[in-house]
Amino acid sequence: MSGQEFKRALGYANAAFELLKRSGIPPYPQFYELLYTYATGVNPSLNNRINAIFREGSSPSVDLAEALYNEFLKSDVNDRISDVSERMHARIEAVHDAIDSAMTTANAYSGSLQAASGDLQQDITVETLKSLANRLLLETRVMQETNQALEQKLEASRDDIAALQRDLDDVRRESMLDPLTKIANRKSFDEGLEAAVAEANIGDQPLCLMIADIDHFKTFNDTYGHQTGDQVLRLVAMTIRSNIKGKDLAARYGGEEFVAILPSTDLDGAVIVAENVRKAIQAKELLKRSTNEKLGRITASFGVAAFRSGDTPSSLLERADRCLYAAKHAGRNRVVSETELAEMQAAGSGISAA
Q: Which amino acids are annotated catalytic?
A: 256
Which distant-in-sequence residues (6+ apart) come within 8 Å of 115 by Cβ?
A: none
Which distant-in-sequence residues (6+ apart) come within 8 Å of 158 by Cβ?
A: none
Cβ atoms of 178 and 252 within 8 Å: the answer is yes
CB half-sphere exposure, 275, CA atoms < 13 A: 8
Distance CA 158, CA 253 (A): 39
What are the distances in angstroms from CA 270 to CA 11, 121, 334? Answer: 30, 86, 14
Helices (H), 69-216: 76-120, 126-175, 186-202
Which of 332, 320, 330 has the alpha carbon at shortest distance from 220? Answer: 332
Cβ atoms of 209 and 304 within 8 Å: the answer is yes
DSSP sequence for 67-97: HHIIIIIS-HHHHHHHHHHHHHHHHHHHHHH
The amino acid present at 115, given as its one-letter code, is A
Distance CA 230, CA 236 (A): 10
